[in-house]
Amino acid sequence: MTEITLFIEAHWESIVAVIWFTLCFYGYMFYSQRMARTTNCLSSVMHKYRQAWMEQMLTRDVRVSDTTALANLERSVAFFASSTMLIVAGLVTVLGSTDKVIDMVADVPFATDASRSEWEIKLLLLIGLFTYAFFKFTWSLRQYGFCSVMMGGAPNADAQVSERERKAISLRIAHVASLAANNFNLGLRTYYFSLAVLGWFINPWLFVALSGTIVWILYRREFKSRTLNELIMSRAEQSID
């Protein structure tokens, strides 16, 4: 019990920083998913656009533009997935030369002294975050593949299918596409929060400040951005027409 108390007393700043980071990371994800059900945000508005896209797709016999657009989305996800693997490999390499990194960061102003084991914990946190992002990107890539198959199996414009069935098919394809986009978004958010972890290598309180800043940036972009306003206005104009 004494060892645990001594450990907490010696590293209480880092413990507080990690707890705050965890609350920011999972708290914002929970908040954004819940608010997306009732509030206009990039996720909910883009889902409506995907529904409109798939409804229009079913009216076309030639769907080259649709498959090209989906392929572009897949390439973006594949780029991040491959980049994430390179980042993980780089972090594992750094993990094997921790002493050199400690000496390099020791000259940074306001940097706090840390033992080798503390640095390894910080690096392992980064590796864990980027591994999580990799799984999100690859799952998103597979879901876009499922979406491609569903588009290929969708009925043609002249097929004898009722409007109700067409509506249901377009909604299902749009839902799978939105699931893929949401997983891609989760991977990108993890990138943002990984930048906050870099502050921990310098100072725990910088880590705390950066974690809160990342939440503010994500909230502004997803719920209050000019891009969101333009998307809402464009969607409203289409509804009026």
Asked if residue 173 belongs to a domain, the reply is: yes
The two tokens of residue 215 are 């939440």
Indicate the range of 73-82, 169-178, 193-202, 216-225 predicted with least confidence. Answer: 193-202
Read off the pLDDT of residues 124-161 as tens digits, 9 standing for 90 and up. Answer: 999 999 999 999 999 999 999 999 999 988 888 787 88
Kindly report the number of other CB atoms within 10 A of residue 24's CB atom.
Answer: 21
Domain with 93 in it: 44-189
Q: Note whether residue 198 is domain-resident.
A: no
Report the candidate in 18, 45, 43, 21 with the shortest Cα–Cα distance to residue 33.
43
3-state secondary structure of 156: coil
**Phi-psi region at 69: left, alpha or beta (left = phi > 0; alpha = psi -120 to 50):** alpha
CA distance 120 to 91: 10
Alpha-carbon span 162 to 211, nearest angstrom: 51
Token representation of residue 210: 């950066």
For every residue of 185-208, DSSP letters joined together read HHHHHHHHHHHHHHGGGT-HHHHH
- Say how far apart CA 208 and CA 225 lie, in whole Å: 24
199 and 209 in contact (C-beta within 8 Å)?
yes
Residue 160: both structure tokens together: 């004898």
Q: How many domains does the chain have?
A: 1
Is 28 a domain residue? no
DSSP tag of 155 = P
CA distance 149 to 171: 15
Query: Is 133 contained in some domain?
Result: yes
Label residues 75-101 b or e (16+ Cβ within 10 Å = b).
Answer: eebeebbeebeebbeebeebeeebeee
Task: Tell me the pLDDT tens digit for each residue of 166-204.
Answer: 899 999 999 999 999 999 999 999 999 999 998 888 888
In this prediction, residue 110 has a pLDDT band, given cuts at 50, 70 and 90, of low
At how many degrees (to 10) do helices 42-57 and 163-198 cross? 140
Q: In residues, how long is the chain?
A: 241
Convert the pLDDT of each residue in 22-40 to its tens digit.
Answer: 999 999 999 999 998 888 9
Locus of tokens 């769907």? 63
